[in-house]
């Protein structure tokens, strides 16, 4: 092999290597600023990605990622045969689906209505107030919800006083209410925050469009539906792709706080199950396999949503 | 331009304003409720009927909470964690963002591609948990700081901002003999307050509100953040443990586990609620920079 390289090539290789060193020396400060970031990514992003191999192994703490024995697809097979498999899929997709169904259009509607407010001052006040819940932690919100939804809580008091309920209900102790609670509380928390992006998109619409429409005799609703909404459809498309790709994430922080053994049949979503199997039951390989299964579905959803939106609206993430 | 408002228009305005007022009420009320409850005598509050104003005003709940050393320690851990991690995150991530942006940087394309992958794919909870353990970060304060120093999504937001800065400034500084690090700290950073404030707010809120790291990576109560403390008190059915801390006996103080929870929630939430209106103009801008990049 050595002889295959002509002296000339060796020469040029040497000089290009020297050039490289020279360039490296020239940008040593720049590289010194960049490389710590690369190292951080290798450690905290790429080593865990590599660690996924334990999904195909029987992980043994004393042996580590590399030396633990291979078991092939056994962990996946076990998960698909798990008696809770369909329940978990149903909960994950179900909660996310209803969050998408309710939580996606409402911020758009809120932004459009907010934009129609005449008083600028009132508009800003409403905006500031609507962001507030975004800054409250799920722990605190979970605390409020547990208090309000308990048998002696505010919701039961109101509902019984209004005559809607005869007997108070411990809402968080019954699986059938769990999905509703997660959807409503998430909408409450993120409505204003999620509207920011649409508000900004609306603010960027050329006012001349509205003026021209007014001259043509368009009323308020015509302008809303024929100008405002079409003009922000690009933003809506992008946000939709992101929302769909998050379908397998049903908001861990929220569900982790609100779940309890009584509502487990409705609150066991993939992420919670990974936590229960991995962190609580120390079944590292099994939990990693479940997590990997989720990541693959999520990636497929992202690609599908991106392609579909591209076809339908000509807008896409990549 | 002035257009005569029709009847339909006025009806719409009234309906719209009413709707907005209802939304504001629904948003503020839960927060108001915990404040009111936290200032009411616990035993009295148990009787119900407290909606808009404390019936028997007292500071006992707060006195009890502040006299509990576990809560004050947790509060200090949260403050330290938030301040240190946010400062380091903003400095470190913006520095890497700036370096990654410079066209002459060798390996730039590879570095950026490496980061982009992390936006769409990760190792998941368990491999991450095992990594933290094997790095020896488990049960140390540093588990909040080092893994929280960098985030590629925030790097993109920084870059979008840096791109708009006039490049002549860098060039003239270079002629004056400044190296890249000096250019970054002396020229780029001072011009970037809006984006620094935005990211600081995002990272700050995350660190302030996060309870999960404290649940899985910490079992030393002295290192647990206040949200984790609160989580344990709230999520565990046996929440009376908080009362056990109450000095001077429960009977004399009229506090209940419920009223203590409310006071803790208020203390946990107030610092962030107090700062965010001031940073509002920044984060709206920052969110947009992020959105344009998609």
Report the residue of B4, B29, B126 to disrupt the A interface, i.e. the one with the largest count of A CBs within 10 Å.
B126
Q: What residue ranges in A29-139 does DSSP mark as E strands? A: none
**Residues whose CB is less than 8 angstroms from the CB of residue B269 and which lie 6 or more positions away in sequence, other chains included:** A135, A136, A137, A140, B31, B34
Kindly state whether residue B28 falls inside one of the protein's structural domains: no
Q: Give the closest-approach CA distance of A3 to chain B in angstroms.
A: 31
Mean per-residue pLDDT of chain B: 87
Q: Distance (Å, rounded) from C-alpha A129 to C-alpha A123?
A: 10
Least confident stretch, A255-269, B109-123, B125-139, B273-287: B273-287
Of the partner residues A135, A192, A288, the one whose CB lies closest to the CB of residue B273:
A135
* % chain A with pLDDT above 90: 63
pLDDT band for B292, please (50, 70, 90 cuts): very low
Give pLDDT, residue A41: 98
CB contacts of B258 in chain A (<8 Å) are 147
pLDDT band for B239, please (50, 70, 90 cuts): very low
- Contact at CB, B24 and A284, closer than 8 angstroms: no
SS (H, E, C) A268-312: CCHHHHHHHHHHHCCCHHHHHHHHHHHHHHHHHHHHHHHHHHHHH
Find, among B267, B286, B292, the residue nearest to B64 by Cα.
B267
Q: Which residue of B has its CA nearest to A281?
A: B126
**Residues whose CB is less than 8 angstroms from the CB of residue B4 and which lie 6 or more positions away in sequence, other chains included:** none
Q: Distance (Å, rounded) from C-alpha B66 to C-alpha B8?
A: 56
Mean pLDDT, range A70-98, rounded to an integer: 95
Other CB atoms within a 10 A radius of the CB of residue A217 amount to 7
Give pLDDT, residue A186: 96
3-state class of B211 per DSSP?
coil
B57 DSSP β-pair partners: B40
The DSSP code for B88 is: H
B40 DSSP β-pair partners: B57
Kindly state whether residue B261 falls inside one of the protein's structural domains: yes
Of A3-12, A238-247, B7-16, B100-109, give the range with the top mean pLDDT: B100-109
Residue A287 in contact with residue A294, Cβ under 8 Å? no
pLDDT of residue A296 exceeding 50, the answer is yes
pLDDT band for B291, please (50, 70, 90 cuts): low
3-state class of B192 per DSSP?
coil
Q: Which residue of B has its CA nearest to A201?
A: B288
Give pLDDT, residue B294: 36
Mean pLDDT, range B122-146, rounded to an integer: 96
Characterise B48 by phi-psi region: left (phi > 0), alpha (psi -120 to 50), beta (else). Answer: left
pLDDT of residue B4 exceeding 80, the answer is no
Q: Give the closest-approach CA distance of B57 to chain A in angstroms.
A: 20
Q: Give the closest-approach CA distance of B252 to chain A in angstroms.
A: 24
Give pLDDT, residue B102: 92
Of the partner residues A37, A146, A257, the one whose CB lies closest to the CB of residue B150:
A37
CB contacts of B287 in chain A (<8 Å) are 196-197, 200
Query: Rg of chain A's alpha carbons, rounded to an integer?
Result: 27
pTM here is 0.89
Give pLDDT, residue B150: 97
CB hemisphere CA count around B73 (13 angstroms) = 11
Find, among A220, A217, A214, the residue nearest to B1 by Cα.
A214
Give the model confidence (pLDDT) of A275-290 as tens digits. 999 999 999 999 999 9
Find, among B271, B24, B281, B275, the residue nearest to A125 by Cα.
B24
Give pLDDT, residue B238: 43
Give pLDDT, residue A171: 93
Q: Does B169 touch chain A (CB under 8 A)?
A: no
pLDDT of residue B35 exceeding 60, the answer is yes
Of A281-285, B192-196, B237-241, give the range with the top mean pLDDT: A281-285
Of the partner residues B121, B269, B294, the one whose CB lies closest to the CB of residue A136:
B269
Q: Give the closest-approach CA distance of B255 to chain A in angstroms.
A: 16
Kindly state whether residue B114 falls inside one of the protein's structural domains: yes
Q: Give the closest-approach CA distance of A261 to chain B in angstroms.
A: 11
pLDDT band for B272, please (50, 70, 90 cuts): confident
Kindly state whether residue B201 falls inside one of the protein's structural domains: yes
Residue B232: domain span: 59-293
pLDDT band for A6, please (50, 70, 90 cuts): low
Kindly state whether residue B30 falls inside one of the protein's structural domains: no
Give the model confidence (pLDDT) of A202-241 as tens digits. 988 888 998 899 888 888 888 888 899 999 988 898 888 8
Mean pLDDT, range B235-249, rounded to an integer: 53
Of the partner residues A47, A50, A140, the one whose CB lies closest to the CB of residue B269:
A140
pLDDT band for B280, please (50, 70, 90 cuts): confident
Kindly state whether residue B13 falls inside one of the protein's structural domains: no
Residues in chain B: 294
Distance set, CA A17 to CA A7, A26, A28, A29, A31 (Å)? 15, 14, 16, 20, 17
Residue B241 in contact with residue B233, Cβ under 8 Å? yes
Least confident stretch, A236-240, A290-294, B96-100: A236-240
Mean pLDDT, range A291-316, rounded to an integer: 86
Q: Give the closest-approach CA distance of B141 to chain A in angstroms.
A: 17
Find, among B187, B181, B182, the residue nearest to B166 by Cα.
B187
Distance set, CA A128 to CA A52, A122, B30, B198, B201 (Å)? 43, 10, 16, 16, 15
Residue B154 in contact with residue B199, Cβ under 8 Å? yes
- Contact at CB, A33 and B98, closer than 8 angstroms: yes
Structural domain count of chain B = 1
pLDDT of residue A133 exceeding 70, the answer is yes
Q: What is the dihedral of CA B132, B136, B142, B146, to 10 degrees?
A: -50
Q: How many CB pairs under 8 A join A and B?
A: 251
Residue A104 in contact with residue A189, Cβ under 8 Å? no
CB contacts of B128 in chain A (<8 Å) are 44, 48, 51
Q: Does B237 touch chain A (CB under 8 A)?
A: yes
Q: Does B136 touch chain A (CB under 8 A)?
A: no
**Residues whose CB is less than 8 angstroms from the CB of residue A276 and which lie 6 or more positions away in sequence, other chains included:** A268
SS (H, E, C) B135-148: CCCCCCCHHHHCCC
- Contact at CB, B234 and A257, closer than 8 angstroms: yes
Residue A54 in contact with residue A70, Cβ under 8 Å? no
Kindly state whether residue B86 falls inside one of the protein's structural domains: yes
pLDDT of residue A11 exceeding 80, the answer is no
Domain harbouring B135, CATH code? 1.10.3720.10
Give pLDDT, residue B1: 46
Give pLDDT, residue B43: 85
Give pLDDT, residue A12: 72
* % chain B with pLDDT above 70: 89
pLDDT of residue B177 exceeding 90, the answer is no
Of A160-174, B12-26, B36-50, B165-179, give the range with the top mean pLDDT: B12-26
pLDDT of residue B232 exceeding 70, the answer is yes
ipTM of model? 0.89
Q: Does B28 touch chain A (CB under 8 A)?
A: yes
Encode burial over A9-36: b for 16+ CB neighbours within 10 A, e otherwise. eeeeeeeeeeeeeeeeeebebbbebbeb
pLDDT band for B293, please (50, 70, 90 cuts): very low
Residue A33 in contact with residue B180, Cβ under 8 Å? yes
Mean pLDDT, range A173-200, rounded to an integer: 94
Residue A192 in contact with residue A127, Cβ under 8 Å? yes
- Contact at CB, B104 and A130, closer than 8 angstroms: no
Least confident stretch, A254-263, B45-54, B136-145: B45-54
Mean pLDDT, range A244-255, rounded to an integer: 88
Report the residue of A33, A79, A300 to disrupt the B interface, i.e. the one with the largest count of B CBs within 10 Å.
A33
Backbone angles phi, psi at A158, to 5 degrees: -65, -50
Mean pLDDT, range B60-81, rounded to an integer: 92
Kindly state whether residue B104 falls inside one of the protein's structural domains: yes
pLDDT of residue B289 exceeding 70, the answer is no
């Amino acid at each position: 092999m050595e002889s295959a390289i002509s002296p000339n090539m060796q020469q040029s290789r040497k000089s290009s290597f020297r050039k490289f060193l020279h360039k490296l020396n020239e940008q040593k400060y720049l590289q010194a600023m960049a490389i710590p970031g690369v190292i951080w990514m290798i450690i905290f992003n790429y080593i865990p990605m590599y660690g996924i191999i334990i999904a195909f192994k029987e992980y043994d703490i004393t042996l580590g990622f590399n030396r633990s024995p291979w078991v092939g697809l056994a962990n996946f097979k076990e998960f698909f045969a798990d008696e809770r498999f369909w329940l978990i899929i149903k909960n994950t997709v179900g909660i996310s689906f209803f969050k998408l169904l309710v939580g996606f259009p409402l911020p758009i509607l809120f932004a459009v209505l907010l934009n129609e407010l005449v008083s600028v001052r009132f508009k800003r006040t409403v905006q500031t107030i609507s962001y507030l819940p975004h800054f409250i932690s799920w722990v605190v919100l979970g605390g409020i919800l547990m208090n309000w939804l308990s048998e002696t809580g505010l919701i039961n008091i109101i509902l019984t006083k209004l005559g809607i309920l005869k007997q108070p209900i411990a809402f968080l102790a019954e699986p059938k209410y769990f999905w509703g609670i997660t959807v409503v509380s998430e909408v409450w928390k993120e409505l204003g925050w999620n509207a920011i992006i649409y508000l900004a998109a609306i603010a960027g619409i050329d006012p001349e469009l509205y003026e021209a429409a007014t001259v043509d005799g368009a009323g308020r609703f015509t302008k809303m539906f024929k100008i405002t909404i079409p003009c922000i459809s690009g933003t809506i498309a992008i946000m939709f792709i992101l929302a769909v790709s998050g379908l397998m994430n049903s908001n861990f922080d929220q569900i982790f706080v609100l779940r309890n053994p009584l509502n487990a049949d409705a609150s066991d979503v993939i992420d919670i199950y990974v936590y229960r199997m991995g962190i609580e039951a120390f079944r590292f390989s099994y939990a990693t396999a479940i997590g990997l299964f989720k990541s693959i579905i999520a990636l497929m959803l992202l690609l599908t949503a991106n392609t579909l939106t591209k076809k339908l609206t000509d807008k896409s993430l990549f | 331009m002035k257009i005569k408002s029709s009847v339909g228009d006025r009806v719409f305005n009234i309906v719209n304003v009413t709707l907005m007022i209802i939304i504001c009420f629904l948003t503020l009320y839960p927060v108001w409720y915990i404040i009111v409850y936290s200032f009411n005598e616990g035993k009295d509050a148990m009787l119900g009927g407290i909606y808009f104003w404390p019936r028997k005003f007292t500071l006992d709940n707060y006195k009890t909470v502040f006299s509990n050393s576990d809560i004050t320690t947790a509060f200090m851990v949260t403050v330290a964690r938030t301040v240190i991690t946010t400062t380091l995150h903003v400095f470190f991530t913006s520095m890497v963002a700036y370096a990654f942006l410079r066209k002459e940087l060798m390996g730039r394309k590879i570095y950026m591609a490496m980061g982009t992958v992390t936006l769409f794919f990760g190792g998941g909870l368990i491999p991450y948990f095992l990594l933290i353990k094997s790095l020896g970060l488990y049960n140390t304060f540093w588990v909040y700081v080092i893994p929280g120093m960098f985030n590629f999504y925030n790097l993109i937001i920084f870059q979008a901002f840096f791109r708009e800065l006039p490049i002549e400034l860098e060039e003239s500084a270079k002629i004056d003999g400044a190296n890249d690090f000096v250019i970054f700290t002396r020229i780029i950073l001072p011009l970037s307050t809006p984006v620094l404030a935005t990211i600081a707010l995002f990272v700050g809120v995350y660190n302030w509100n996060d309870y999960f790291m404290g649940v899985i990576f910490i079992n030393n109560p002295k290192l647990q953040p206040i949200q984790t403390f609160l989580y344990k008190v709230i999520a565990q059915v046996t929440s009376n443990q908080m009362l056990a801390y109450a000095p001077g006996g429960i009977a004399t103080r009229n506090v209940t586990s419920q009223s203590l929870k409310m006071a803790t929630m208020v203390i946990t939430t107030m610092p962030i609620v107090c700062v965010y209106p001031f940073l509002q103009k920044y984060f709206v801008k920052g969110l947009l920079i992020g959105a344009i990049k998609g």
